[in-house]
Chain A
């Protein structure tokens, strides 16, 4: 499952408890992302899934589920 893989790398990169990551929760708040963290998110997604995220991709990202859907869509486009 792509969501499990995403959770795994988010836990590793942002050092959060895996139990805190729930599809309906807010990505930014849960991971405590600040403006400096997004570049790390882009790097780990590109290195693990081979997709490049751009600023516009984050416009409608609120929850983890939104993020899973984005990565699924991007990987299917590749």
Chain B
């Protein structure tokens, strides 16, 4: 029986899975992964470029959500021993942000792939700070050909 690799908090390894580089990296933990889902984390720090007045702004929440999807792609390619492709946020089909996390909050984002078609992936995604759901969205991501 193989021990679970999760959670993964090695920053250098996580950066290998993402196309983003500091200070744009908005993921610091991979909690879980399977073919259709990913759970990613971020601790909101004062020096985060999307933090203003101790609040993570809307753009930061969206970026964290989008990078959670990229992390799913990156880890999927990693376990297949392939180089992760570049992906883009295609469109935000719907989003609601219920509250803004503060510095020190630990975010947990759960993303579920609803459908993949012609290189476009439709993902349902929720972000929590503790037990509180702070945001939910449906996002389409596109893999660069």
Q: In B39-94, which residues have CB < 8 Å from any A CB?
A: 90-91, 93
Contact flags B91-107 to A (C-beta < 8 A → 1, else 0): 10100000000000000
| Count of residues in B whose CB is under 8 Å from the partner chain | 14
In the complex, residue of chain A having the shortest beta-carbon distance to the beta carbon of B116: A39
Q: Is the CB of B142 within 8 A of A36?
A: yes
Does chain A have a CB within 8 A of B122? yes
A42, B140: Cα distance in complex, Å: 13
**Interface magnitude class on chain A:** 10 to 19
Interface of A is mostly: helix
Give how many A-B residue pairs fall within 8 Å (CB-CB).
31
A40 B122 Cβ-Cβ under 8 A: yes
B117 near A: Cβ within 8 Å? yes
How would you classify the secondary structure of chain B's contact residues: helix, strand, loop or mixed? strand
**Per-position contact with B for A34-58: 1 when CB-CB < 8 Å, else 0?**
0110111011001000000101000
The reply to whether B90 and A43 contact each other, CB–CB distance below 8 Å, is no
- A42 CA / B118 CA spacing, docked (Å): 10
Point out which of B116, B117, B119 has the most chain A C-beta atoms below 10 A from its C-beta.
B117
Q: Which residues of chain B have C-beta atoms less than 8 A from A53's C-beta?
A: 117
B16 → A minimal CB distance (Å): 28
A40-B120 Cα distance, complex, nearest whole Å: 10
Shortest B103–chain A CB gap in Å is: 35
A39 to B114, alpha carbons, bound, how many Å?
Answer: 9
Closest residue of chain A to B121 (Cβ to Cβ) is A39
B121 CB contacts on chain A under 8 angstroms = 39
Could you name 6 residue pairs across A and B whose Cβ atoms are closer than 8 Å? A35-B119, A38-B120, A39-B117, A39-B140, A43-B122, A53-B117
Across the A-B interface, give the 3 residue pairs with the lowest CB-CB distance, nearest first.
Answer: A39-B117, A39-B120, A39-B122
Q: Which residues of A contact B (CB under 8 A)?
A: 35-36, 38-40, 42-43, 46, 53, 55
Further 17 A-B residue pairs, CB within 8 A, beyond A39-B122, A42-B115: A35-B119, A35-B120, A36-B120, A36-B140, A36-B142, A38-B117, A38-B118, A38-B120, A39-B115, A39-B117, A39-B140, A40-B93, A40-B122, A43-B115, A43-B122, A46-B115, A55-B117
